[in-house]
Amino acid sequence: MRTGPAGNTSTRQSNVSTTGTGGYNASSAVTGPAGNTATRQKSGAYDPATKTYSSSTTTTGPGGKQATSSTSVQATGNGYARTTTHAGPNGNSTTTQGQATYDASTGTVNQSRTTTGPNGKTSSESRTVTRGTTPQ
């Protein structure tokens, strides 16, 4: 329970359980001072056969509107590929696809990602990070 400066209180209840296969389920509920409640359901799992971690989240606001998020990250030979989609309560969604690779011989990481917004417009970025040398 939390108490604000005006004496208003809010409470939060959380539960987490494992699935026994490297996954989990979590839920939480927050009740505000006016009695409004928001909930969040989240689950995640790792598939060792495909080297992929996946998670999903659903958040429900006091008015019943929902927002969702899902993420998938797959290990590649020398990096990873990641896709995340967020969908808002009005049906608009944003998807981000990214990847990174690591070259051990040069200590260089190459990263890139592209985000597509609800209007279909995209933005992209990429960067290269190279390990520096430490002064002696």
Model confidence band, residue 136 (pLDDT cutoffs 50, 70, 90): very low
pLDDT given for residue 34 in this prediction: 83
Amino acid at 90: N
Angle among Cα 44, 45, 48 to the nearest 5 degrees reads 155
Residue 2: inside a domain, yes or no?
no
Amino acid at 99: Q
Residue 49: inside a domain, yes or no?
yes
Supply 112's token pair: 């890139």
Residue 1: inside a domain, yes or no?
no
Q: What is the pTM of this model?
A: 0.79
Mean pLDDT score, 82-100 = 95
Domain span at residue 76?
8-130
Q: Is the pLDDT of residue 104 over 80?
A: yes
As for how many domains the chain has, the answer is 1
Each residue of 90-112: b (16+ CB within 10 Å) or e?
eeeeebbbbbbebeeeeeebbbe
pLDDT given for residue 33 in this prediction: 82
Strands (E), the chain: 2-3, 9-18, 24-31, 37-47, 52-60, 66-76, 79-87, 93-103, 108-116, 122-130
Residue 104: inside a domain, yes or no?
yes
**Could you tell me what percent of the chain has a pLDDT over 90?**
69
Q: Is the pLDDT of residue 72 over 70?
A: yes
Q: Is the pLDDT of residue 127 over 80?
A: yes
Mean pLDDT score, 17-25 = 87
Residue 135: inside a domain, yes or no?
no
Mean pLDDT score, 25-31 = 93
Q: Which residues have CB under 8 Å from 23's CB, separation 6+?
A: 43, 44, 45, 46
